Amino acid sequence: MSRIKIIIVEDEEFVRMGLRTAIVQSHADIVIVGEAANGLEFFRLLETAAGAAADMVLLDIRLPDVSGIDIAKRLKSERPEMKILVVSHENATETVERMVDTGVDGFISKQQSNSGILVQAILAIMQGHEYFGQDIANIISQIYVAKKGVMEVLSMFTKQERLIIEYCHEGLTAKEIADRLCLTAKTIEWHKSNIFSKLGINSTREMVRFAVKNGIIRGY
């Protein structure tokens, strides 16, 4: 595995130190290439060689100069390849919804940001998955189920389709899912294509995001 390069954006120095220590002591292939206490410092850092090479940002929401929500929006526009893992105390329903709607790749609360959770989240995101802590996933589910109604959402899919969505959320390949369901990989891909058509999407990532948001499956 090539090294995963991380930038930490957090205004409280002792929190940055805690995140840095938790990561460095837990996984040799995850390195901190920069830290910023506010949005201005972060975007200046992105213009340096280290910032340009960064794979992911650990982003707080409440910063002294600009909201992490605005930073996420700008990043998704200017650096879409850069992964965003939100690490924040903020868990108000409206704030969580606005942040998730920017397209962030993960969101965990500071209360749950121990070394094991942090590394698990970083690795999952770098492997192409999304990662929402259980408390954040519960909030997301409540938001979108309240909007659509759980029965309306669930009625869109067959039991087998819901299983396939859940296995995709776990990161299983089409062959691995096929083995679990005693089907062929080609059949699994056909089912996924049907799910994509129902949702008007074209990727597994979008499918899993919809499922988490709408309470079909839960976050980690």
What is the SS3 assignment for 215?
A: coil
- What does the pLDDT read at residue 152? 66
Residue 143 included in any domain: no
* Residue 144 within a domain: no
pLDDT tens digit string along 116-170?
889 989 998 998 888 888 788 778 767 766 666 655 667 778 889 989 999 998 8
CATH number of the domain encompassing residue 183: 1.10.10.10
Residues 109, 40 within the same domain: yes
Q: Are residues 70 and 18 in the same domain?
A: yes
* Whether residue 101 is found in the same domain as residue 163: no
How many separate domains does the chain show?
2
In the listed set 138, 173, 197, which residue is the last one of a domain according to the structure? 138
Confidence band for 93, pLDDT divided at 50, 70 and 90: confident
Asked if 104 and 169 sit in the same domain, the reply is: no
pLDDT of 150: 56
Would residue 61 count as lying in a domain?
A: yes
Where residue 36 sits, what CATH number does that domain have?
3.40.50.2300
d(Cα 23, Cα 5) in Å, to the nearest integer? Answer: 11
157 occurs within a structural domain? yes
**What confidence score (pLDDT) does residue 88 get?**
93
Based on the fold, state whether residues 53 and 123 are members of the same structural domain.
Answer: yes
At 168-220, the pLDDT tens digits run: 988 899 999 999 999 999 999 999 988 887 777 778 888 888 888 776 775 54
**Is residue 123, in this structure, part of any structural domain at all?**
yes
Based on the number of CB atoms within 10 Å of its own CB, is 146 exposed (0-12), middle (13-18) or buried (19 or more)?
Answer: exposed
Are both 101 and 166 inside the same structural domain?
A: no
pLDDT of residue 149: 61
105 and 129 share a domain? yes
The tens digit of pLDDT for each residue in 17-62 reads 999 998 888 888 999 999 999 999 999 999 999 999 999 999 999 9
Return the pLDDT at 158. Answer: 87
DSSP labels, 54-113: --EEEE-S--SSS-HHHHHHHHHHH-TTSEEEEEES---HHHHHHHHHTT-SEEEEGGG-
**CA 102/CA 210 separation, integer angstroms:** 14
List, in sequence order, every residue forming a beta bridge with 30; answer none if it has no partner. 4
Q: Which of 18, 14, 48, 15 is nearest to 34 (CA)?
A: 48
* Bridge partners, 132 (sequence order): 107
Find where tokens 């201005």 sit.
Answer: 40
Identify whether residues 34 and 91 lie together within a single domain: yes
Average pLDDT, the chain: 88
Same domain assignment for residues 28 and 88: yes
Report the C-alpha gap between 217 and 132 in whole angstroms. 12
Question: Does residue 178 belong to any structural domain of this protein?
Answer: yes
Domain end marker among 138, 171, 186: 138
Domain hosting 156: range is: 149-213
Same domain for 169 and 73, yes or no, is: no
Residue 220 falls within a domain, yes or no? no
In terms of pTM, does the model score above 0.75? no
Which of 101, 118, 138 is where one domain is finished? 138
Q: Same structural domain for residues 107 and 70? A: yes
Please indicate, yes or no, whether residues 76 and 170 belong to a single structural domain of this protein: no
